[in-house]
Amino acid sequence: MATVSLEAVGGAHGYLRAQTRWRRSEIAFWLATLLPFLLFPAYLQLASQIAITALFAVSLDLILGYAGIVSLGHAAFFGLGAYTAGLFSKFGWGEPLSGLILASALAGVVGYAASFVIAHFRHLALIMITLGMGLLLQEAANSASELTGGVDGLQGVRMRPLFELFPFDLWGRTAYTYSLAALFLTFLVARRLTHSPFGLSLRGIRENAVRMPALGAPSRTRVRQVYTIAAAMAGMAGALLAQTTLTVSLEVLSFQRSADVLVILILGGAGRLYGGVLGAIIYMVARDQFSGINPQYWYFWIGLLLIAVVLFLPNGILAGLDRAAARFRRRSP
Amino acid sequence: MPDLLLAVRNVRAGYGEAVVLDDVSFEVPSGESLAVLGRNGVGKSTLVLTIMGFTTLIRGSLVWRGEEITHLAPHRRPRRGLGWVAQEREIFASLSVEENLTVASRPGRWDLAAVFELFPRLAERRHARGHHLSGGEQQMLAIARALMTNPDLLLLDEPLEGLAPIIVEELTAAIRRMTGEQGSTLILVEQHADIALGLTEHVIVLERGKIVHRGRSRDTLREPVLLDRYLGLTLSDSPPASGP
């Protein structure tokens, strides 16, 4: 029987500290995000959209993958951030960073208000409520067409150069740098959160929300906190899209966007943070390629990809890669 | 005289309109152990749930270290020092043993090293996920997780239910260490009355939500009529466990 040296056992906080250590694969991944500047300079706009989608997926992962809050209306916060940043710019405040922070904060405030409802429900009821919230906000934006532009989209979005030095160019150099920096910094926050006692308690809530109070964790308070954080992050992603594309359409609030980000998370692997990022890369690149092959029926291939992943990699691509790596390590002498 | 940890006073409680416990009163001083016995459905688990704040308390009060906690939110009770192991174990299936323990961790003498020393089997399986553990290992994990909250009083709800005899022995030894060497205060709800009486100093017996007997565990073991009447236990069927 195997024995474990008790001296080797760190305290509970030692365990969490060990989890926060950066792995070489992580460092390599973040260094690789700089490669588009060198290898694909013509695709920096796409890279920027991938970074934005990845941020949106990470925000969903916090609530779905970690806390078990199923949402089909997460685009509500994305759209709120996009319209806030777009409207700020349209009415004269074109400074990107402050617009980004304000849009994120507003989405966070709305998320906090919504969290009081969200924290009382689980599973199917949550799907209905979040779906309803998304549809409500989309229709509200549609009916307020004088402000939002309705189905024509918000016109007149103008951004000042980043730090008054770097204009948002056609090639997407500034856009990608800006989006990637926002993704990285937000990812650091999410990573720290998920490797903290708070993050571990979210996973406990996902497993059994009713029993977590017996361990001293107030489930509903934790749900409200993480939902607010996730809403702020989704709002930031939306604001980035508005600022880097200079357009905001009703699509940012659509059910399709909520469903897409869910698909992305399932593809990559929920509850792993990097799953959302990987899912966004694969989904966005596949969409770009498939729509190039067939502009009308490209969703067919996305559907096929999703079915294949669920059948053969039920916990997502990242979990599949993890398993393959573990098998490889076991076989290596 | 040891400090009084918990006082349950004239408690009437249940679920919604349904009353399960009626006029239940008892006290638990620091460092002592109490067995709660009774047949199925007499309200033993409801009593534990009431102490943890998960039932409807209709009347009566709960006093913890001299402070009324009757209406204290359930998640604040572990922070005051109440630890609970539910009958259903309810470990977090997708979390590893280490994560299951860390999620409950609060400062105090019980840390990972201490619980791994109490349950060496958990140390060996520290990286295994909850759903890969056997029933006995899950029960050890449930107890260890409750200990990680560093409770002043630990409530164990039928910890030996459905376990193989060898695991029962292992857990019994661990509980004996907790009450003996560690001096932990314990409320033990158990169907195995003979084992529970051997592990604890005091006992209350419930019948239809009321306390029908209270006394020293050692003395109760010598009352075959009472054991047979309220617990259906004939001691000749099972050897008595040694006292604490």
Q: What is the CATH number of the domain that holds B212?
A: 3.40.50.300
Strand order in the sheet with B210-216: B82-85, B153-157, B185-189, B33-37, B202-207, B210-216
Interface test with B, best of A5, A7, A9, A224 (most B CBs within 10 A): A9
* B56-101 tens-digit pLDDT: 999 999 999 999 999 999 999 999 999 999 988 789 999 999 999 9
CA angle centred on B169, ends B166 and B174, rounded to 5°:
130
Encoded tokens for A120: 């009382």
Provide the domain limits for residue B215: 1-80+186-244
Instruction: Return the minimum-mean-pLDDT range out of A49-53, B75-79, B177-181.
Output: B177-181
Please indicate whether, in this complex, the C-beta atoms of A207 and B86 are within 8 angstroms of each other: no
Instruction: Identify the three-state secondary structure at position B75.
Output: coil
Is A121 exposed, middle or buried (CB count within 10 Å of its CB: 0-12, 13-18, 19+)?
A: middle
Q: Does residue A207 belong to any structural domain of this protein?
A: yes
Instruction: Identify the three-state secondary structure at position B69.
Output: coil
Is A22 exposed, middle or buried (CB count within 10 Å of its CB: 0-12, 13-18, 19+)?
A: exposed
Strand partners, B153: B82, B185
Pick B240 or B217 by higher pLDDT.
B217
Q: What is the pLDDT of residue B215?
A: 94
Q: Using CB atoms, which residue from A9, A200, A216 is nearest to B112? A: A9
Q: Does residue A223 belong to any structural domain of this protein?
A: yes
As a whole number of Å, the CA-based R_g of chain A is 20
User: Structural domain tally of chain A?
Assistant: 1
The DSSP letter of residue B191 is S
ipTM of the predicted assembly exceeds 0.85: no
Alpha helix locations (H) across chain A?
12-20, 24-32, 35-39, 44-61, 75-90, 96-118, 123-143, 145-148, 173-194, 197-208, 219-245, 255-268, 274-293, 298-312, 317-331
Dihedral angle at the C-alpha atoms of A106, A112, A115, A117, nearest 10 degrees?
-90
User: Structural domain tally of chain B?
Assistant: 1
Q: Does residue A274 belong to any structural domain of this protein?
A: no
Q: Does residue A120 belong to any structural domain of this protein?
A: yes
User: Count of residues for chain A?
Assistant: 333
CA angle centred on A43, ends A37 and A48, rounded to 5°:
80
Q: Give the closest-approach CA distance of B112 to chain A in angstroms.
A: 6
Q: Does residue A158 belong to any structural domain of this protein?
A: yes
C-alpha B226/C-alpha B228 separation (Å) is 5
Please indicate whether, in this complex, the C-beta atoms of B102 and A15 are within 8 angstroms of each other: yes
Alpha helix locations (H) across chain B?
44-52, 76-80, 97-102, 112-118, 120-124, 135-148, 165-179, 193-199, 217-220, 224-226
Pick A48 or B88 by higher pLDDT.
A48
Q: Does residue B21 belong to any structural domain of this protein?
A: yes
Q: Give the closest-approach CA distance of B224 to chain A in angstroms.
A: 37
Q: Does residue B60 belong to any structural domain of this protein?
A: yes
Provide the domain limits for residue A237: 39-252
C-alpha A302/C-alpha B19 separation (Å) is 56
C-alpha B208/C-alpha B22 separation (Å) is 8
- Cβ neighbours around B180 below 10 Å, total: 12
The full DSSP string for A88-142 is HHHTT---HHHHHHHHHHHHHHHHHHHHHHHTT--HHHHHHHHHHHHHHHHHHHH
Instruction: Return the minimum-mean-pLDDT range out of A178-187, A223-232, A320-329, B127-136.
Output: A320-329
What is the average per-residue pLDDT within A232-248?
97
Residue B98: how many CA atoms within 13 Å on its side-chain side? 17
C-alpha A60/C-alpha B186 separation (Å) is 42
Q: What is the pLDDT of residue B242?
A: 47
Q: Does residue A290 belong to any structural domain of this protein?
A: no
Strand partners, B7: B27, B63
Q: Give the closest-approach CA distance of A68 to chain B in angstroms.
A: 12
Q: Does residue B164 belong to any structural domain of this protein?
A: no
